[in-house]
């Protein structure tokens, strides 16, 4: 069978780009881009941001446009990934503290499911749902197989693995599953400590956190697999009421209807900001501002600035300023 995507040399890739209406002022520079990022991630990752017809750009696009987008994307990836990891650590801290305080510090990792009252992973300490068994089994399996240094140390030097050590051996996805099977009052404890704002009721905090942490997890997975940060295909959406309240009205109802604050960059930033302490939030925002300020003087081949090309409002930075100041 003849492959429909045969190997192409860098010179051949350049010829393909030129045939698709990509302007390449310097072939050697273009080869450097392609050999560093690959055609697929460098071109195909961003081509849908420019108007096309039959796989050809309607308006000629200079290859540097792809470089600028790739640069911003990688810069934002690093920022978001760093703070999502911080959110993950905080979530694990609050869950493990609550479980340890209420249910003890020992668990039998070798028994998939038990009902012992002094075992902190006993099924009786969690919601009685069909997913609880699977989650507990998954946690024990992951911890037993974990190569995490703290877990290995406790296996070798202590007679038990407390919850604050155990959480180091599970992923963010499994941590979210653990949160989901917590009893209602335990969820209340976690959400009260995670969502710092006093503008939401506990039920509103729970709804917002449930949606927000799933969005962060999907962004984290996108980043880890090299997918681009912006214009993602995430379906989860933050609830409108909480978005408007937490943004102090700086994200309006009309903005939300147009997708701002649902599951876009605004949604990620708003979720992270609702969890970070005030000083860390200011540092996080300054990093976001710097990322976009570096691109502020770039005009793309379509005549748009960075906000237009990414379908962000032109007052993106001022909206963020207002949100931070409101918080």
Report the alpha-carbon distance of residue 158 to residue 152 in Å, rounded.
Answer: 10
**For the chain, what is the mean pLDDT?**
93
Residue 3, classified by CB atoms within 10 Å of its CB into exposed (0-12), middle (13-18) or buried (19+), is exposed
Q: Indicate if 118 and 214 belong to the same structural domain.
A: no
Domain span holding position 135: 89-194
pLDDT in tens, 203-237: 999 999 999 999 999 999 988 887 777 656 688 99
Q: Indicate if 180 and 203 belong to the same structural domain.
A: no
Q: Indicate if 323 and 212 belong to the same structural domain.
A: yes
pLDDT in tens, 114-149: 999 999 999 999 999 889 999 999 999 999 999 999
Q: Indicate if 217 and 318 belong to the same structural domain.
A: yes
Strand residue runs (E) in the chain: 22-23, 52-53, 56-57, 61-62
Q: Indicate if 187 and 213 belong to the same structural domain.
A: no
Report the alpha-carbon distance of residue 46 to residue 49 in Å, rounded.
Answer: 6
pLDDT in tens, 71-111: 999 999 999 999 999 999 999 999 999 999 999 999 999 99
Residue 175 belongs to some domain of the structure = yes
Residue 257 belongs to some domain of the structure = yes
Closest CA to 309 of 2, 6, 51: 51
Structure confidence at residue 171 as a pLDDT band (50, 70, 90): very high
Residue 106 belongs to some domain of the structure = yes
Amino acid 235: pLDDT: 85
Q: Indicate if 140 and 215 belong to the same structural domain.
A: no
Structure confidence at residue 5 as a pLDDT band (50, 70, 90): confident
């Amino acid at each position: 069978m003849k492959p429909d995507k045969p190997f192409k040399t860098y010179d051949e890739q350049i010829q393909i780009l030129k045939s698709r209406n990509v302007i390449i002022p310097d072939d050697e520079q273009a080869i450097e881009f392609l050999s560093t990022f690959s055609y697929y991630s460098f071109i195909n990752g961003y081509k849908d941001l420019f108007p096309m017809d039959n796989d050809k750009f309607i308006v000629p696009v200079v290859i540097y446009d792809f470089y600028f987008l790739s640069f911003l994307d990688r810069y934002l990836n690093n920022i978001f990934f760093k703070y999502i990891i911080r959110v993950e650590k905080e979530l694990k801290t609050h869950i493990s503290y609550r479980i340890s305080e209420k249910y003890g510090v020992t668990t039998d990792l070798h028994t998939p499911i038990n009902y012992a009252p002094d075992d902190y992973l006993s099924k009786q300490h969690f919601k009685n749902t069909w997913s609880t068994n699977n989650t507990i089994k998954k946690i024990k399996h992951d911890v037993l197989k974990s190569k995490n240094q703290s877990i290995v140390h406790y296996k070798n030097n202590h007679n038990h693995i407390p919850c604050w050590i155990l959480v180091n051996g599970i992923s963010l996805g499994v941590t979210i599953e653990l949160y989901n099977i917590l009893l209602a009052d335990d969820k209340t404890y976690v959400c009260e400590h995670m969502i710092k704002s006093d503008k939401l009721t506990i039920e509103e905090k729970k709804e917002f956190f449930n949606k927000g942490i799933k969005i962060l997890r999907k962004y984290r997975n996108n980043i880890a697999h090299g997918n681009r940060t912006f214009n993602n295909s995430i379906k989860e959406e933050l609830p409108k009421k909480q978005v408007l309240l937490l943004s102090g009205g700086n994200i309006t109802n009309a903005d939300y209807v147009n997708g701002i604050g649902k599951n876009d960059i605004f949604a990620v930033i708003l979720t992270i900001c609702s969890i970070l302490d005030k000083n860390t939030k200011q540092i996080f925002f300054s990093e976001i501002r710097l990322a976009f300020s570096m691109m502020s003087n770039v005009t793309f081949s379509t005549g748009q600035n960075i906000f237009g090309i990414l379908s962000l409002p032109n007052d993106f930075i001022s909206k963020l300023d207002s949100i931070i100041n409101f918080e």
